[in-house]
Structure 1
């Protein structure tokens, strides 16, 4: 049996880790003998992890929808067609084709043009803007794929039939709270630094804070947005005396940061298709402060395992932070226990792997 999996990045951010977990599930549950080919755009940390999982890694550098490439439409179209031809060759003999994210345009075109009677699955992990939505709907219909969504919010945004499979993450063996709360409340924001994830929005909300707060911002920006990092450092220097902010670059293992914090903040100014950072926080028993839109509303239960605030409102976020239960107080610890319980029952990597393998091999005979 041959399974071909296509992804648009070789890094280890949220969608990359979710793709890795899906590939691991496919390798582990595939009927034997099985060949799992994984196509990535370039070498990177994800490639090594895929190889460790048992997949064979191949590279296709063209055919991904990226704004920087769309500024040169003729060059992009040429690369898209060339990549589609190469993927058609890769798809020969495939029994299952698994495409991860809408960005993989050449893979979807190859699915549309392929005469092979393979199962074609698209895992949608993004909510496109209104202008792009009509294009993606046409592309999905042409490709003949079965659609899997990472949240109800993503499914409703796309507006086409499909199955919702919530992401899962591996977590520590138990709910963990680092001792010590005498230095104030510790907030963690982790993920790619960009305009809509909300790093700037969070810092601006803290400019008038009356609490003692230690904030860590963990992540890096792509080359085209390095100026955002400089802007964040500039705002951080204007924070009140009781508020401090430390910056850390991307790290493959963020467990140190999750254990350090008291609360995880996900203040995205545009709707998150899912919100992987929120369930990672839950896995460490950390309550989550999240913007009340997109997939985050399917993860965080307000007042039970975290707090939801009005999206894009600095006032609402500031008020939420000012009203947080004190670190390691009974209220804070109860939130953390419920957060870990939510992770264990709904968002474990084991349940994710089971659902992915059941979908991928639904018509492929018994699995291992």
Structure 2
């Protein structure tokens, strides 16, 4: 950069303790061309430059950092002094990088900085954090939120540390997702490095045989340290003698924690940076037990750089901080038992120091600083197509899994997902770096079953809720101004296509359900067909079978779902000669999915042999009575001791590896049959009904066996036929070759070509206006 950026900070670490202040200092130190403004030590004078800010505990800021005021001065004095310092320092800079809304407000709106390009670093919801810290004044909280929104509206670009905080910035403060870059923080790999654990332990008086955990935190309620003390007390009897929990940091809870600290707990208070490195080296694990509002957790990668993995809670960005290392390090926030169990298992089950260090090396500060330079130059200007994906659920059901697998491969798309409920899909999307927000839909409308979508069957409450939601969604789309809206479910297609049309945005309606009388009530079939013809700019069907039920004038585009890249890590069949065999059915529990048919056929095929049956799936949409009926049926068929009901399992590949044959037994034609692709990719021979999507995916006796739908006898005969190991091997090998048609990059290119066509048509249609 020719001109230096100006970084508007809060305080200088460690004079001011906290992740924001440490991050700001490290970023500025790795941007030598930058100038900075902070509020400094208690005796600092306005415009004092380069003053030490922490005595023996810290280091003085460099000369290019202006200390505008002492942090003990009254707030009005600090604000005015900060504004004046920013106005003077801002001459000659092209870009302002703001880190704390309170101090940035006046400089960004008054004086020479108001015309500069602004990069916003979002470190967390200040107003909400103050509530968590005990603020009770609604007026003060509302004022803080209004101040934050005003600052965030000035951003040309925004930087967040995790996808979780991107969601907060987009959802709570209305910032457009297209300007937000997710950039994890950096770590100083020289300051934090591998060393001698024995020497480090000697410094803190710890034995080499002890199990040592360390928590480096601000001592405030939201950090969850009281939960950690309880968990440590529960875990201590299962740990070696002399095991110790070390808590470093300061804050208002220090006295209370010292009173509660039992045997094997030391409250260290504030420590110097050289001590901090040895503290990490001395530990077997770090612990970050946060209860709320955690942007990333810098301590996680600092400890990792010293070879120490951290157990973290599923709060904010913490799961993203360790997911690439070991997801078993994540525990439920506030769950004392879960934390205690993970501490106990960490004695033997944790990443090695070398593996942990290699993970930390991904976050080297020079690399992170260079990415920030690109952002400050305006380098995050994204030319990709802006697409909003709309879905009514956030569960890991078929259509949602298909979307999750496809989005990371759309290299010409900048995606943003709007969901109508909270759910596991959100975390899964965040792990893929996909931004999300939740626009809640009333449960009366969101949970409306298709059987009730008929004349007189929709309650006034559900109808009113859907209408109101459609208008809210349209208003949000106007704010976001995407190039395209893609609806991913049947319900989302109904309200999302209307909202998109109101907002003046072209819409692609992805139909993943058969629009026919055997799947939907007659009135719903007519409604959906009519809406799809008149509201959708384009229609995507997940199979030719689904396409045939739409009766759309111009005809939908058939784009199949994808099989994930994990298929390339699965080897050739290894289960061909294994006996007794295991037959399985995988999918959500619902009558039309045919789990009852599978159990009946299995009982007929193997009435007395040792073969086993596995039912994988949960009752995701209220079919709990059906789930109980399946257990009763297994008993009535005399196979209860040979049937295992696994429930919902997120790791489908692990389940498929246990099977010798996969059965797909839908009694109503399946729109597509994604699990069939998964079975083919995993080299598990498949039996499926000769109808709907499965009949398009499988070639009978070539890549699988097809049977007549709802025919128990033919299904049982096919199961018996699969006892032939040569047949299973031939089908599995051929299926592995065929499934390459469904690889993500192939499907992504087809969808992106459709997007390009649709947006070009929309621009031509709008140009005369």
Q: Number of residue pairs matched? A: 355
Is contact 1:99–1:107 with CA below 8 Å preserved after alignment?
A: yes
Change in Cα spacing, 1:88 to 1:352, as seen in structure 2 (3 Å) is same
**1:238-249 correspondence runs (5 A):** 238-240=636-638, 244-249=642-647
2:749 aligned residue (344, 354, 358): 354
**Equivalent residue, structure 2, for 1:340:** 736
Residue 560 (structure 2) aligns with: 166
Give the deviation of 1:187 after TM superposition: 1.1
Shift of 1:223: 6.4
Superposed CA offset, 1:201-256 (max 9, x none): 11112232245421110011136321212211122124456982111011111112
Quick one: structure 1 residues 307 and 180, their matched pair in 2 at CA, closer, same or farther if it must change by over 3 Å? closer
* Aligned counterpart for 1:82 among listed residues 460, 465, 468: 468
Per the alignment, residue 10 of structure 1 pairs with 394
Aligned-partner Cα distance in 2 for 1:180–1:146: 45
- Give matches, 1:142-291, under 5 Å: 142-160=534-552, 161-170=555-564, 171-173=566-568, 174-179=570-575, 181-210=577-606, 212-222=610-620, 224-240=622-638, 244-291=642-689
Work out the CA distance in 1 between the residues paired with 2:691 and 2:641: 27
Q: Distance in 1 between matches of 2:641 and 2:736?
A: 28
Q: Which runs of 5+ in 2 are unaligned?
A: 1-384, 761-769
2:69 alignment partner in structure 1: none
Among candidates 478, 481, 485, match of residue 97 of structure 1: 485
Deviates more, 1:290-299 or 1:9-18: 9-18
Partner of 1:110: 499
| Residues in 1 aligned to 2:649 and 2:449: alpha-carbon distance in whole angstroms | 26
Change (3 A) 1:56 1:186: same
More helix by share: 2
The 1:318/1:363 distance shift into structure 2, 3 A limit, reads: closer
What's the CA shift string for 1:304-340, capped at 9, x where partnerless? 11100011111111121122243xx222111110011
Scaled by the length of structure 1, the TM-score of the pair is 0.89
Greater RCO (CA < 8 Å, at least 6 residues apart): 1
Task: Identify if the C-alpha distance between structure 1 residues 331 and 209 changes in structure 2 by more than 3 Å, giving closer, same or farther.
Answer: closer
CA distance in 1, matches of 2:625, 2:639: 25
- Asked whether the equivalents of residues 25 and 357 of structure 1 are also in contact (C-alpha less than 8 Å), the reply is no
Question: 1:75 and 1:306, CA in 2 relative to 1: closer, same or farther beyond 3 A?
Answer: same
8 Å CA contact 1:209, 1:240 repeated in 2: no
1:135 to 515, 519, 527: 527
Give the 3-state SS of the residue equivalent to 1:196 in structure 2: helix
**CA shift for structure 1 position 82:** 0.6
Unaligned runs of 5+ in 1: none
Partners of 2:753 and 2:558 lie apart in 1 by 13
Give the secondary-structure state (helix, strand or coil) at the position aligned to 1:128.
coil
Query: CA, structure 1 residues 136+223, in 2 after alignment: closer, same or farther (shift >3 Å)?
Result: closer
Match of 2:448 in 1: 66
Find the aligned partners of 1:241 and 1:248 in 2 and give their Cα distance: 16
Q: Which runs of 4+ in 1 moved over 6 A?
A: none
CA contact (8 A) 2:514 2:546 kept: yes
| Contact 2:576–2:660, Cα closer than 8 Å, also in 1 | no
Q: Is the 8 A contact 2:389 2:416 kept in 1?
A: yes
Tell whether the 8 Å contact from 1:176 to 1:259 is kept in structure 2 after alignment: no
Distance in 2 separating the partners of 1:227 and 1:158: 31
Give the Å deviation of 1:64: 4.4
Aligned counterpart, 2:506: 119
Maintained 8 Å contact 1:192/1:219: yes
Q: Provide closer, same or farther for how the CA distance between residues 178 and 37 of structure 1 changes in structure 2, counting only shifts above 3 A.
A: same
- 2:198 corresponds to: none
Q: Aligned partners of 1:21, 1:223: CA distance in 2, in Å? A: 22
Task: Return the TM-score normalized by structure 2.
Answer: 0.44
| Offset, 1:13 | 2.2
- Counterpart secondary structure, 1:286: coil
Alpha-carbon shift at residue 303 of structure 1 (Å):
0.5
Query: Deviation at 1:199?
Result: 0.4
**Partner-residue secondary structure (3-state), 1:188:** strand
Deviation at 1:120, TM superposition (A): 1.4
1:281-314 C-alpha deviation (Å, 9 max, x unpaired): 0001112100111111001111011100011111
Distance 1:179 1:300 in 2: 21
**Cα 1:206–1:29 shift into 2, 3 Å:** same
Structure number with bigger Rg: 2
Q: Following TM superposition, by how much is the alpha carbon of 1:182 offset from its aligned partner in structure 2, in angstroms?
A: 4.5
- Per the alignment, residue 407 of structure 2 pairs with 23
